[in-house]
Amino acid sequence: MKIKNKKLNILILFTSMGCGITTQVLDNKDDLSWINLYVGKLGILDGDPKNTNSFGLEYRATKITKWKIIPSFGYSLGANGIKYLYTDVKHDWTIKKNWVFTFSLGTGIFDNNDSLDLGSTIEFRTGFELTYHFNNNNRLGLVAYHLSNSKLSKQNPGTEALMLTFLVPFDTLIKKK
């Protein structure tokens, strides 16, 4: 499917904003950046046997602005060749000791194929997650999100996903022992 120039420019703008703001220096050293590994299913509410297993990798930067927005970008793959490259912003709320609720909103490039065609190459992602924050700073939880092209094309079926997520602080992965 061909992307119209206006749609491509919008996607480039959102993507560059998401990637560019991750380089800002923060005064609060308690904020962490994360590597997020997730696995689960796409199309969970579609009632279609073409539901597909999916897994992904995401980088979450440290919180920015006075609203503590978390910029992130990621890439997911489906067992049937589905690919999605995205950038989004998130916000965490601690709802009880060690429990974190996160809301996210973003956009990305979706590779439509025979197993899942969402109608457009540009797809918006909205979701939430609930994770348990362990004492070693790792987090484990569930993520649910919706993909939709928001009527950028005539075909807009959308789909939902449910994923198991595991977050590791980025600093612990790059620290020399």
pLDDT per residue as tens digits for the range 16-43: 444 433 333 323 334 799 999 999 998 8
| Side-chain-side CA neighbours of residue 71 (13 Å) | 13
Confidence of residue 119 (pLDDT cuts 50, 70, 90): low
**Which residue did the predictor score with more confidence, 148 or 86?**
86
The letter for the amino acid at 58 is E
Domains and CATH numbers, the chain: 5-174 (2.40.160.20)
Q: Which of 2-6, 56-60, 119-123 is most confident?
A: 56-60
Percent residues over pLDDT 70 in the chain: 78
Q: Which of 47-51, 79-83, 129-133, 137-141 has the lowest mean pLDDT?
A: 47-51
Q: What is the mean pLDDT of residues 107-130?
A: 85
Model pLDDT, residue 141: 98
In contact, 34 and 21? CB cutoff 8 Å: no
